[in-house]
Amino acid sequence: MDQANPYKKGGVREWFESIFFAVFAAAFIRMFLIEAYVIPTSSMEGSLLVGDYLFVSKAHYGIRMPMTVLQLPLLHNRIPFFDKESYLKSPSLPYFRLPKIQDVQRFDPVVFNYPEGDSVFVTPQRNFTIHDIRRSPGLIMRIPPENQEMAVRPIDKKDHYIKRCIGLPGDNLKIVNRQVFINDKAIENPKNLQYTYKVVAPNGLNMSRLNEWGININDVNPAEGIFSLSEENLARVRSLSPDISVSILTPDNPGRDYLFPHDDANFFGWTIDNYGPIHIPKKGETVDLNLKNIAMYQLAIRVYENNTLEIKDDKIFINGVNVNNYTFKQDYYWMMGIIDTIPKIVGFGVLCQKTISLGNHCLFGFPPRMSIGKKVSDGIVS
């Protein structure tokens, strides 16, 4: 009877339909509800560790609808082994976000698309943005000739980063001797905040013991005795021997115009340890503009809010109109890691709501030492 049924599906067709449905369901969940990540770097060390696997909600800050239409399912921006982008830039859809469950809160860990990641050189070790090259021309020597074709990416295909939200829309932020102040009040530092130290141990250090304490012995420069240490681990290292000396390292200024707003002429002397003050724009807020502060806001006005901005004859023109103020259309945020040596914390400036791709809720995460089968599909820079 079954053999005579003309509507009976063949084995190949059943397998094809099952695989198609599984891929469709997984792609739908990844696109609209939950996305999986693995943490490859240590700037959030102490709260998110290198190798942690995370499953993060997309709904809490409002689901950002897909902007790139034609893309391979279950891939973010690169095709493994072929070393090519996994999408077509056109056709595309305008930015739109569904209603949110909650606002971004101060100290939330937030996943976002790296603001300066629109033009990148992709290498096996890491990606370099065109802005990295402009600020540090010597970096071009680290890009192999076969990787010197620049990839230009839409907003939703820029690399993912995760940082902690420190500044909210309308806040004034500054850093004084490594302490962050919001609206002139010192914030409560994260429990596992880490600074970089030079450790001199005449009789050497027990690396196994440091690893047991959760001290990262792979990043920074352990061979030279340079470690990122929390206050607790600093005390532990000092307790190893009275002969050990420990001194805090002040990060070098990355260079002229490196730190946001990239205008040393008007924001002279800003460093990673002593930075600001800056104002974080709020939706509907009108800010006065002049030649001394335009660098602070020009990226948001030109790129994030899609305006033309020109300076001619010492006058500011937005969309061809001479202006002395601007009313912002979006909320903006300030993100930071919890290790003090990462220049990017004050490198790319304020972050607009459009680039926030996922919510703060880590539904669950676990370290790589657990047996999970396959590696999570997408990496995220911390």
- Say yes or no to pLDDT of 174 above 70: yes
Query: Predicted confidence band at 218 (pLDDT cuts at 50, 70, 90)?
Result: confident
What confidence tens digit (pLDDT) does each residue in 32-54 have? 888 887 776 666 656 666 667 77
What confidence tens digit (pLDDT) does each residue in 138-173 have? 888 888 888 888 899 998 999 888 888 889 999 999
Give the count of alpha carbons within 13 A of 277, CB side only: 11
Query: Predicted confidence band at 359 (pLDDT cuts at 50, 70, 90)?
Result: low
**The predicted structure's pLDDT at residue 373:** 28
- Say yes or no to pLDDT of 380 above 60: no
In this structure, which amino acid lies at residue 216? N
Q: CA-based Rg of the chain, rounded to a whole angstrom?
A: 24
**The predicted structure's pLDDT at residue 40:** 63
Query: Predicted confidence band at 56 (pLDDT cuts at 50, 70, 90)?
Result: confident
The two beta strands, 151-152 and 84-85, are: unpaired
In this structure, which amino acid lies at residue 7? Y
Sequence-separated (6 or more) residues with CB below 8 Å from residue 303: none
In whole angstroms, give the CA distance from residue 290 to residue 99.
Answer: 35
In whole angstroms, give the CA distance from residue 306 to residue 299.
Answer: 10
Contact 75, 85 (CB under 8 A): no
Is residue 366 helix, strand or coil?
strand
Between 356 and 346, the more confident residue is: 356
Contact 79, 126 (CB under 8 A): no
